Structures are given as C-alpha cells and as structure tokens.
C-alpha cells in the first residue's frame, strides 16, 4: 500500500481485483482502485468509514490536494474511502485506447454493460468486506453517486449504517425519455436566468453560432466546433458559478487578425477544455444507460436526449438565428453527433450506438425493499437542479421509508463541493436529529 501525506490528510491507496461480471465470479477480473483518507494525526484511531460515490458516470474521484471542501468536514468524524468507480481513474480504464482490445463494437458494449450502478455497488461491497469485514459503513452519494446509493439501499442495505445523498435521488420508474422531457424545461430556465443576468450575451451567442454555421472551426486537438457542439457549454449553467464563468468565456471570443474578426485561440482552448471528453469518455458513452431498466422501458434508451430535443424549439440553432434569438444552450445531454465531432469519442461511435440499442438492462431499484428501508437516509434535493429533476427526486424520497429530505434553493447541483462542507454538515446534523 502506498501512503501519501498531504496538508492535514493522510492518503492510503488500495487496489482490489473484482469480477468483471459479479454474476460470474470465476470469470474475467478487473482492478478497482480506491484512496483512503484520514485526518492527519488520527491514522491509528478506530473511526467509522464513509464511502464516497461521486457523480458521473465515468468520472474518477477528485484527488484531494489537502484537507479542504466537503472532505474537511467528513474527516472530523470519518475515515473516508474515495472510490474510483470501475473504468475510471486508476481502476482498469475504459477508453478508446483500451476498449479497442475488446474486439467489435458489440463486444465492447457487452463489456461496458457491466459498468453501471449495480456493478459499482458490488465492487463497494467487496471493498467493505476487505477493509472492515461485516461491519456496515456509511455512504455519501453525489449526483450519479446518489443513484448508486439508492441501488445500494435496494440490493445490499445490510452493508450500510447510514446514507447521505446530495443532488442524486433518481426517479425509480422513469424512462430516459422521461428524464430528458423533464430536463429541457429546467435547462431553459437556467438559460433564461443567464440571459437576464447578461442580456448582452444574447447577441454574443448568436454571433458565434452564425460564425460556426458559415465555416468549419477546429478546436485545439482537432475536434470540430459546430454550433450544436458550442451549445454544450450550457453544462456550465448547472453549477453555482457557471453562469459567470460562461459569460467570461463569451466576452473574450473574438480577435481581429489579417483576415478580419475570428474566434481567438484562447477562446477555442477554453471551449475545448469544457467540451472535450478526452479525460472522461465514459461519461458520454454510458450516460443514458444509467437510466435503462427493462421493466420501465423495454425498448432501451435509444438516444433519448436527441429524440426529445425536437419538442423544445428554443434549442434549435437555425430557428434562433432566423428569429434573432435567444439561442438556448443545452445541458447534461449527450447526442450521437458528439461521436463525430470529438476525437476522443469518434472510435467509440458504434459502441455507443450498440449501448443505445440495448434492451435488456436489469432493473436498478427495488421499490418494495426501499419502502421497508431500515437504514437512516438523509438527502439534499436542490429545488431547481439542472441535472437531476427535483420532482422525480421528491417522489422517490416519499417511497424510501424514513428518508428525510432537505429541499433547498440555496445551492445548485455542485453544492457539496461549492459549499465548503456546509451541505454535508447539514445532512450530518439532520441524521443526528440536531435539525
């Protein structure tokens, strides 16, 4: 085991060999990596464990540089396990480079079918038993990590002492199309708030979109910046400071060279950094599959965000250009054409299509077990969360026995990290009956 001491925190690396398919424990195995974090000076204390499941899918757990953000609050009470969910970070990677070894796109899709919440929770259970035996631990699930937490409550509640969820109570029986039909109006509200704050951005966005319609623009690294890809910057609008950051990017878009006005290299690099999936390709490849459940939608997910988009004309580029806008940015929406414009995704195009066509996704949530839940659960539900529908979350909260929900508009979806520990502190006090 590798031990790394950083300001205020001691980090210890752990690696487990786990089955690729937990239903075939004697078959192929992959590695799952996790980093244990404990407050400096408390390494030898017997502390309760808190498993952290981050958002995603397909995103590695952030590497703490010091004892800061929500981790600072957690380390007052817990020894924390930061899990790199399978396929991410230092776990056996799943990228265009590694998946090519799996064979055909269909074979790659079959492999990735084992990278959803059900497999992640079973990996966590192996880690729990490896670290503390049969003693239960606590779990903190942020965003998609909350989806994993609700699966944990459905299928392995005996492993949990308590559960905390921030911005991540999923709809138990909503299809992928239901998710995006609910999402587009929320995304539209975030756009309206942005343009109310920065009315000058209406013209700025239209000017950039018109430029992208008229000529081919390449990002550093070779990706194509189409008008629709440009709309993907709306992912930023779901974070507390996202509108301000988006405005700053737009304000520095243009430079005048020998050929006249054009998009600046600095602007294109900032856009590339926001839009590229090179660091997290599985976020795009697996995104809609996290909603797949055969009992909810026997037809599969089928590029739901693209299928539903036409019902919301305010996201249509050509209509906005013809009408004088405003043009709405999109949000946490993955479209099939991304696999043409992003070099990191292009080799995975057929694999993504195979996953979109898949119809045999196992169910993820057990409503009967959740209704009989004996694990204390507290959840932060953000009132106008752009990423996770508050209505879906509150209906789920009503169906998990004993769950206490804190509904707030003080924070956006990134409240756990942006709040410097305040959100987690509130949930901990709720769990202890202090509020």
Give the model confidence (pLDDT) of 120-149 as tens digits.
999 999 999 999 999 999 999 999 999 999
How many other C-beta atoms are found inside a 10 Å radius of the C-beta of residue 197? 11
Q: Over 80: is that where the pLDDT of 384 sits? A: yes
- Which domain, by its residues, includes 165? 3-172+365-431
Last residue of a domain, one of 357, 377, 399: 357
Phi, psi of 256 (to 5 degrees): -105, 120
399 and 420 in a common domain: yes
272 and 217 in a common domain: yes
41 and 186 in a common domain: no
348 and 390 in a common domain: no
User: What DSSP line would sit under 423-435, residue for residue?
Assistant: HHHHHHHHHTT--
Residue 224 burial (C-beta neighbours within 10 Å; 0-12, 13-18, 19+) = middle
pLDDT > 70 in the chain, percent: 100
Average pLDDT on 327-350 reads: 97
What are the structure tokens assigned to 100, written together?
Answer: 């090519």
Provide the domain count of the chain: 2
115 and 62 in a common domain: yes
Determine whether 280 is an active site residue. no
Q: Read off the pLDDT of residues 200-232 as tens digits, 9 standing for 90 and up.
A: 999 999 999 999 999 999 999 999 999 999 999
Q: Read off the pLDDT of residues 93-128 as tens digits, 9 standing for 90 and up.
A: 999 999 999 999 999 999 999 999 999 999 999 999
72 and 127 in a common domain: yes
CB-based contacts of 44, cutoff 8 Å, min separation 6: none
| Given the residues 119, 143, 243, 276, the one annotated as active site | 143
CB-side neighbour CA atoms (13 Å) of 254: 12
Which CATH number belongs to the domain containing residue 131 in this structure? 3.40.50.1820
User: What DSSP line would sit under 69-118, residue for residue?
Assistant: HHHHHHTTT-EEEEEE-TBSTTSSB-SHHHHGGG-SHHHHHHHHTT-SHH
Last residue of a domain, one of 318, 339, 357: 357
203 and 341 in a common domain: yes
Of the pLDDT bands very low, low, confident and very high (cuts 50, 70, 90), residue 325 is: confident
378 and 235 in a common domain: no
Residue-level pLDDT at 419:
87
| Given the residues 138, 280, 413, 414, the one annotated as active site | 413
Determine whether 130 is an active site residue. no
Calpha distance 428→368 (Å, rounded): 26
Last residue of a domain, one of 357, 381, 407: 357
Residue-level pLDDT at 85:
97
pLDDT > 90 in the chain, percent: 97
224 and 104 in a common domain: no
Determine whether 413 is an active site residue. yes
How many other C-beta atoms are found inside a 10 Å radius of the C-beta of residue 45? 9
139 and 100 in a common domain: yes
Q: Over 90: is that where the pLDDT of 187 sits? A: yes
237 and 372 in a common domain: no
324 and 209 in a common domain: yes
Calpha distance 430→400 (Å, rounded): 16
């Amino acid at each position: 085991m590798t031990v790394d001491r950083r300001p205020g925190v001691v980090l210890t690396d752990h690696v487990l060999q786990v089955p690729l398919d937990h239903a075939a424990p004697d078959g192929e195995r992959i590695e799952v990596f996790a980093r244990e974090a404990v407050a400096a000076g408390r390494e030898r204390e017997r502390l309760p464990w808190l498993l952290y499941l981050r958002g995603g899918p397909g995103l590695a757990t952030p590497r703490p540089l010091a004892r800061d953000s929500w981790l600072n609050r957690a380390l007052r009470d817990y020894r924390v396990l930061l899990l790199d969910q399978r396929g991410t970070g230092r776990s056996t990677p799943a990228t265009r480079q590694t998946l090519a070894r799996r064979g055909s796109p269909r074979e790659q899709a079959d492999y990735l079918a084992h990278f959803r919440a059900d497999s992640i929770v079973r990996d966590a259970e192996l880690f729990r038993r490896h670290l503390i035996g049969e003693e239960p631990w606590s779990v903190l699930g942020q965003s998609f990590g909350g989806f994993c937490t609700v699966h944990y409550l459905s299928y392995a509640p005996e492993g949990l002492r308590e559960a905390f969820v921030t911005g991540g109570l999923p709809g138990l029986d909503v299809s992928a199309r239901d998710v995006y039909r609910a999402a587009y109006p929320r995304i539209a509200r975030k756009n309206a708030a942005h343009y109310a704050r920065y009315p000058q951005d209406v013209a700025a966005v239209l000017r950039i979109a018109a430029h992208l319609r008229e000529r081919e623009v390449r990002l550093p690294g070779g990706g194509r910046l189409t008008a629709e890809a440009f709309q993907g910057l709306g992912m930023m609008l779901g974070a507390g400071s996202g509108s301000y950051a988006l405005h700053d990017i737009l304000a520095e878009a243009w430079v005048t060279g020998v050929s006249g006005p054009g998009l600046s290299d600095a602007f294109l690099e900032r856009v590339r950094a926001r839009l590229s999936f090179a660091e997290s390709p599985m976020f795009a490849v697996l995104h809609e599959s996290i909603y797949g459940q055969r009992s909810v939608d026997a037809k599969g997910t089928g590029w739901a965000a693209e299928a539903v988009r036409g019902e919301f004309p305010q996201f249509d580029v050509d209509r906005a250009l013809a009408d004088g806008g405003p043009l709405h940015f999109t949000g946490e929406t993955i479209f099939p054409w991304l696999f043409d414009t992003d070099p990191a995704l292009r080799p995975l195009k057929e694999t993504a299509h195979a996953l979109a066509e898949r119809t045999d996704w196992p169910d993820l949530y057990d409503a009967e077990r959740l209704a009989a839940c004996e694990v204390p659960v507290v959840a932060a539900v953000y009132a106008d969360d752009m990423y996770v529908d508050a209505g879906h979350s509150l209906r789920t909260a009503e169906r998990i026995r004993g769950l206490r929900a804190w509904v707030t508009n003080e924070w956006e979806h990134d409240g756990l990290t942006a709040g410097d520990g305040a959100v987690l502190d509130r949930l901990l006090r709720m769990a202890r009956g202090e509020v």
